[in-house]
Amino acid sequence: MSSRPISSIAIAGGGIVAWSAAAAVRRRLPSIRVTVIDLPVPENALADRLGCTLPSIVDFHQDLGLRDADTVLRAGSGFRLGTRFDGWSGYRSEFVHAYGEYGQTLAGSAFHQHWLRAEHLGEAAPFDDYSTGAAIALAGHFLPSEHTRASRIANYAYGLHIQPLRYREMMRAFALHLGAEERSGPISEVILRDDGFIEALDLADGGEIRADLFIDAGGPAALVRTQLDGRREDWARHLIVDQLIISDQTRPPVDSPALDHVKALDRGWTWEASSPAHVSRGLAYSSEHLGHDQARDLIDNGEQVVLAPGRLTDPWVRNCVAIGDAAVAIEPLEWTNLHLAHSAIDRIVTMMPDVDCNPVELWDYNRQANAEADRARDFVMLHYAGPNRPEPFWRDAASRPLPTTLEHSLQQWRERGRLPFHEEETFSRDSWAAVLIGQGIFPRRIDPLLTSVPKNESARAMENLRSAIMGVVAQTSQQSAYLRNLALQESR
């Protein structure tokens, strides 16, 4: 073979993203030596700092051989089934975006089409009622779907609410256990070869780290990766939130809901998410519409974070790839931050090139990573397209130009509730439907394909689904009960 495989990787960063990358590479490609250059986590590295994660974290753990006992019990995490949106639109005061299915395909048509027809006739129960995850969470309960019959009705999935600092310690210990090495930063200089590849990172302590591949997991500044090329796609014209205040608190364990609460305010929105012994809160706003002092009145203490939404034009250039906030900076709404980092790590492992980092391999990596980031942005932006709130913040957010990919989805939806397929989509068709419907964005027409399904037939099937979901809910109980069970099994 003309080229040779990568045998060493240096990862710059000291947060969850860096250590997760180290653990994944050591676990899945053990022939590669991994050195993590431990750097302080900047306050605006959201993937390292937010507590809410999507269901993909569970798959990520599975690939690493980590069990709930490690990631939940030992790291003090809780379970989450989705987000409860409050005051977000005038359509309903609240709606839930829960992960997994809303209803089931009936007579060859997507469930949401049946629901839209029923809604048009004024006969629909809330869309949330057809999500098992939403129903369980709204009852204040939690149970993973493999313990229920949901897979035959409307399946659901869970993410975790983590305590970022404890979780990072868990992941660091795991990566070290797998043979990753740790060096302390800071990095004093990035040494380039004549061909523009990175040769080594010089450390302030006089050390030098050489590697075949460098992963920049150091937060939005991407100090290593931008030495090669700093081109960036700026999303500020699409997304107006540029300020956050984030606060984390531990507390004595209580029973916590499996839904986080996202509430629209006049000039921004807040979140509150909790696991039994931990609460994370935050405020997201635009500096154009709210002063910092006024913002401080809306949330008890917390750290100020400045956000510049956007992504690198190409996350991977030559022998350096950016992940986490170094690659994509996006507001916390819908919690895509750590998900995108996990996805990048998974993609690096799957697409690991040779030491020459051939352009065709990087082209395919960047194509996938960019498509994924752009669609995550589209989904976040969708939440601002719907609300008809009269306040200047919301009017400004809703008036921003739509990226063509989002415009395409919205236009197809608005016509007849069609959700076109896009490659590298993070959120399922049902997630899109839940957020569109939750905001009261309805299609102009009923899907003509439904005309061959009698209305009462749909109605009966929908009612059966709903009562089957209530049956599942009846078998679940509070999250604390499930956690106790988990701990009991673990102690045996």
For another protein, the binding residues (CB under 8 A) are 1-3, 5, 28-32, 63, 108, 120, 349-354, 358, 360-361, 363-364, 368, 411-412, 415, 418, 420-421, 423, 444-446, 448-449, 451-452
Nearer residue to another protein within complex by CB, 5 or 196 = 5
Nearer residue to another protein within complex by CB, 1 or 488 = 1
Nearer residue to another protein within complex by CB, 117 or 267 = 117
Nearer residue to another protein within complex by CB, 3 or 489 = 3
Task: In whole angstroms, give the CA distance from residue 49 to residue 163.
Answer: 9
Supply the minimum distance, in Å, between the C-beta of residue 5 and another protein: 6
Supply the minimum distance, in Å, between the C-beta of residue 329 and another protein: 26
Q: Are 339 and 46 in contact (CB under 8 A)?
A: no
Nearer residue to another protein within complex by CB, 36 or 453 = 453
Angle, vertex CA 331, rays to CA 327 and CA 335, nearest 5? 90
Nearer residue to another protein within complex by CB, 2 or 491 = 2
Task: In whole angstroms, give the CA distance from residue 454 to residue 443.
Answer: 20
Supply the minimum distance, in Å, between the C-beta of residue 367 and another protein: 9
Supply the minimum distance, in Å, between the C-beta of residue 398 and another protein: 21
Nearer residue to another protein within complex by CB, 330 or 450 = 450
Nearer residue to another protein within complex by CB, 52 or 419 = 419
Supply the minimum distance, in Å, between the C-beta of residue 158 and another protein: 21
* Maximal CA-CA distance, the chain: 76
Q: Are 180 and 73 in contact (CB under 8 A)?
A: no
Cβ contacts of residue 166 below 8 Å, gap of 6+? Answer: 75, 76
Supply the minimum distance, in Å, between the C-beta of residue 433 and another protein: 16
Bridge partners of residue 188, in order along the sequence: none
By C-alpha distance, which of 360, 359, 330, 328 is closest to 344?
328
Q: Is 446 helix (H, G, I), strand (E, B) or coil?
A: coil
Supply the minimum distance, in Å, between the C-beta of residue 491 and another protein: 32
Continuous H helices in 32-138: 46-49, 56-64, 68, 111-120, 132-138
In angstroms, the first-to-last Cα distance of the chain is 51
Q: Return the structure tokens found at 107.
A: 């007579």
Angle, vertex CA 76, rays to CA 75 and CA 82, nearest 5? 110
Nearer residue to another protein within complex by CB, 197 or 413 = 413
Angle, vertex CA 184, rays to CA 181 and CA 187, nearest 5? 115
Supply the minimum distance, in Å, between the C-beta of residue 345 and another protein: 13
125-144: b (≥16 Cβ within 10 Å) or e: ebbbbbbbbbbbbbbebbbb
Residue 478 vs residues 20, 151, 238, 487: alpha-carbon distances, Å: 30, 20, 40, 15
Nearer residue to another protein within complex by CB, 120 or 193 = 120
Supply the minimum distance, in Å, between the C-beta of residue 427 and another protein: 15
By C-alpha distance, which of 50, 70, 51, 54 is closest to 133?
54
Supply the minimum distance, in Å, between the C-beta of residue 250 and another protein: 36
